[in-house]
Structure formats: C-alpha cells, structure tokens
Amino acid sequence: MAKLSILSKDDVPEQPYPGRWRSSGVRSARQLSPDGYSLGLVLADIDAGGTVAWEGPHGDEGVYVLSGEVDVDGRRCPAGGAVIVESGVDATMTAVAPTTVIHCAPATADPPSEGLYGPPDADGHAVHVVGPGGWFESGQREGVRATWFADATCPTCRIQLFRVEHPPGFAGNFHSHSQDEIIFVLDGIVSLGPRGYGPGTALNIPADVTYRVSYPEGATFVNFRRDASEQTYGRDGPPVLEGAIARGGRLVEDFR
C-alpha cells in the first residue's frame, strides 16, 4: 500500500513547469506530490500574460486560483475560483495579473471507467470556469462549508475538486476514503496526530489509508480526487458516498 506523504512549499525547490504542459511566463513552480503517486499537484506563480496550455491526451484537471485572475477563452476566473479542464480538451489559460495557482492533475490521461458513476460520456468535453461560489455548496450538517467546483456528477468529467472551511476546535474521527486524494492547506492548521501543517502544505493521502485530522485553530483547504469517493469511519463502518448533493448540499452554479 502506498504511504501518506506530506510536502511543504518551503521544503521543495523551484523547478520548471512540468513539460507535459506548454507554459510561458511562469515565475516559479513547485511539485508538491511525490513521484509515482496517482495524482499530481503543482504550485505555480505566473506573471501577467503568462500562460499554461493543454494539448493532446490528458485526464480531468483542475486549477484553483489562489491569488490574481486567469482568463480562458474570454471567461475570467478570480481568486477563490477554479478552472476544470475535462479530459482531452485543448485549452489555454492566461494570467490576467500576477497570479498564483495550484494545478491538480491525475498521472494518467485515461478518464476513470470503473468508479461509482461509471465512465464519463466520451463526447462533449469542455472547460468549466467556476467562480468562488462554486458549482455546489454543502457541509451545513457537518458544521463546515464545502464549496465544490466539481463533484464527479458532471456527465463529461469525474474529477472532484472542492474547498473546505473548518471552524476552530474541530476534531475528526479516524476514517479513510476509497480514492487517492491531495489536501492542500490554504489557511490555518491541519493537524495529523501531534503535528500541525500550515498554508502551502500538501497532504498526499492514498486510498484506504486510515487517518484522523483536527483543526484546533480552524483551517481552510482544497481537496482533489480523480473520481467519486466513499468515506468509511473506523475499520468497519459503512461506506458513505462523498459528493455535494449526497452531503445534503445545494446547487449554486457560479459559472463564468
């Protein structure tokens, strides 16, 4: 079984933007996912006018805008929003101003085919530009706010990308997920056991690894998965479907 891996931006050297994407005007880039993991995350600072382009085969990918603003085909995505580039779509994202993003992508170009919702439709793939309000919102019954930019229920993509805002004092139970995931800390502290991890840290957590998190000071993070997931509490708890509407959420549709 793969192991949980934690990488901080302060401990990872800058590198060129990964070669699988064509880019320009990238001031710095750091890969915060381990080699060989099924998911990847790149933290990048892009100068105004800089670009990242998708060409050829690729899986469903998500770009969360930490600061600044990006443009995709005349559609603007401000800080706090996200761009979902569905599998196989050619697209170019341009930074309107100096911009920092986290770029999430699966290691394989093939879309998932055996997940909870089956394979996505083969045709009609596109780019979703979703504002800070998200596609869906959930979390009221858990006492958190979850803003979903994609929750795997779209007919043409299976990616899950969402932001979670936890109040101070939350202490979770031991649990696991059926999908590999990356948690990127935006604000506050995410604690695993006695250690806390602050902004700019990526927690790469493989499927079926049991862990427990707490947020003594509160925390906001972005979560990325390749496909729909189920959550299991303890070792023998029943699996619970994870998704915006499945979690009692509502449709927002902050599309740009």
Instruction: Report yes or no: 6 and 204 within 8 Å, Cβ to Cβ.
Output: yes
Q: How far apart are CA 60 and CA 159, in angstroms?
A: 6
SS3 10: helix
Query: Average per-residue pLDDT in the chain?
Result: 96
Q: State how far the alpha carbon of 246 is from the alpha carbons of 56, 132, 231, 241, in Å.
A: 33, 21, 12, 6
Per the CB < 8 A criterion, the answer to whether 159 and 226 are in contact is yes
Adjacent-strand bridge partners of 95 = 70
141 vs 248, more confident: 248
* Over residues 185-209, mean pLDDT: 96
Q: Which two tokens stand for residue 40?
A: 């990847």
pLDDT in tens, 142-178: 889 999 999 999 999 999 999 999 999 888 889 999 9
**Separation of alpha carbons 8 and 15, rounded Å:** 14
For the chain, the structural domain boundaries read 5-130, 136-245
Determine if the pTM surpasses 0.75. yes
Residue 2 has a pLDDT of 73
Is domain 5-130 annotated with CATH 2.60.120.10? Answer: yes
241 has pLDDT over 90? yes
Q: What is the pLDDT of residue 99?
A: 98
Chosen CATH of 136-245 out of 2.60.120.10, 3.90.1180.10, 2.170.150.70, 3.40.640.10: 2.60.120.10
Mean pLDDT, residues 45-49: 98
19/197: higher pLDDT: 197
Q: Do domains 5-130 and 136-245 have the same CATH topology?
A: yes
- pLDDT tens digit sequence for 4-45: 999 999 999 999 999 899 999 999 999 999 999 999 999 999
